[in-house]
């Protein structure tokens, strides 16, 4: 009997020593986190959200493989490129930080100037937002925790999609009565004043090209500018911008920050000294993304503490 018990005890001890408990396993670097993200999420690619004049707008939806009870936050991601170039596939890896925070992502393509000039890209951004809200229940998304994200022209679209009221006239291609509430905007060196880029000293060819030959160009530029719609009801905004940006003047983010603050809107401007147009050091990128995380925690979009990937 003693020998049997001893063998049993030895077996238990052997199993205990050879099979570490789950509590002892923690990610120790980028490889571990990348494995967790890859195994926790799936992609529903090229979901059509709009058809307009023979063009089909599509988005890639990044979702958990095994959804947990309850809806999850969702971020709409818009690529940059001055409204004249770029596509969602080029920034596919930009979804990773949001997945790591436990946020589903819709990575959006939109019409570029060669396909349709302004305001087409803004109409598309609004329609992508409506599609996400309309399909939230189907995909387990929380319409009370919607974030829009973008860089440069994508930052502009993230802002205007969240700020523009229905009365702005950008929703005609996708009418609906769903409340399109955005909780926060993450704006990386985005354009907040389109008109400034249409004339010296800050005139930019890409902005002029996007506007095309619209006869009411000045009025349209005002309607397309997020600054036009700032009031107490717009969502909270985090802006990161290089102070030496040669493409989108840093002053645009300063003016947006001042307008939001005057309206009583929670916001943060994260200036990057000597930073160019998205040309930041590795340390700066890490610090900015930590600040984004903290901002979203404060806004109640995500929770502080343990990564959702470990739960």
pLDDT single digits (tens) 285-294: 999 999 999 9
| Averaged pLDDT score across all residues of the chain | 91
Q: Is residue 32 part of a domain?
A: no
- Banded model confidence at residue 27, pLDDT cuts 50, 70, 90: confident
Q: What angle do CA 289, 291, 296 make, to 5 degrees?
A: 95
The answer to whether residue 14 scores a pLDDT higher than 90 is: no
Q: Is residue 311 part of a domain?
A: no
Give the total number of structural domains in the chain. 1
Structure tokens at 291: 């600040």
The answer to whether residue 77 scores a pLDDT higher than 80 is: yes
Say what the pLDDT of residue 269 is: 98
Q: Is residue 40 part of a domain?
A: no
The answer to whether residue 10 scores a pLDDT higher than 90 is: no
Closest Cα to residue 54, out of 120, 102, 140?
120
The answer to whether residue 20 scores a pLDDT higher than 70 is: no
Q: 10 Å Cβ neighbour count for 156?
A: 32
The answer to whether residue 164 scores a pLDDT higher than 50 is: yes
Q: Is residue 116 part of a domain?
A: yes
Structure tokens at 253: 């983010």
Q: Is residue 275 part of a domain?
A: yes
| In contact, 252 and 224? CB cutoff 8 Å | no
| Average of per-residue pLDDT across 73-81 | 98
Write the CATH number for 194.
Answer: 3.40.50.1820
Range of the domain at 272: 47-300
Q: Is residue 56 part of a domain?
A: yes
Q: Is residue 20 part of a domain?
A: no
Q: Is residue 253 part of a domain?
A: yes
Ramachandran class of 152: left when φ > 0, alpha when ψ lies in -120 to 50, beta otherwise: left
- Banded model confidence at residue 219, pLDDT cuts 50, 70, 90: very high
């Amino acid at each position: 009997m003693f020998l049997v018990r001893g063998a049993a005890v030895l077996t238990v001890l052997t199993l205990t020593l050879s099979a570490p408990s789950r509590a002892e396993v923690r990610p120790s670097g980028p490889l571990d986190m990348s494995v967790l993200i890859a195994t926790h999420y799936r992609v529903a690619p090229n979901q059509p959200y709009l058809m307009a004049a023979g063009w089909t707008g599509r988005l890639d939806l990044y979702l958990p493989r095994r959804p947990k009870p309850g809806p999850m936050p969702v971020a709409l991601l818009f690529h940059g490129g001055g409204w004249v170039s770029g596509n969602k596939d080029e920034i596919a890896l930009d979804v990773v930080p949001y997945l790591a925070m436990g946020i589903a992502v819709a990575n959006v393509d939109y019409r570029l100037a060669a396909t349709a000039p302004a305001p087409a890209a803004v109409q598309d951004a609004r329609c992508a937002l409506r599609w996400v809200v309309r399909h939230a229940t189907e995909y387990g998304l929380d319409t009370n925790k919607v974030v829009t994200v973008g860089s440069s022209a994508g930052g502009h679209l993230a802002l205007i999609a969240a700020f523009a009221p229905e009365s702005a006239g950008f929703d005609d291609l996708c009418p609906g009565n769903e409340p399109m509430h955005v909780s926060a905007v993450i704006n990386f060196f985005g354009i907040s004043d389109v008109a400034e880029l249409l004339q010296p000293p800050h005139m930019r060819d890409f902005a002029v090209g996007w506007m095309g030959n619209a006869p009411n160009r000045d009025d349209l530029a005002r309607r397309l500018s997020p600054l036009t719609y700032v009031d107490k009801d717009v969502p909270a905004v985090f802006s990161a911008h290089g102070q030496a940006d040669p493409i989108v003047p840093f002053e645009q983010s300063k003016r947006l920050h001042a307008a939001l603050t005057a309206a009583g809107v929670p916001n943060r401007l994260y200036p990057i000294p000597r930073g160019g147009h998205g040309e930041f050091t590795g340390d700066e990128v890490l610090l900015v993304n930590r600040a984004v995380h903290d901002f979203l925690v404060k806004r109640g979009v995500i929770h502080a503490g343990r990564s959702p990937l470990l739960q």
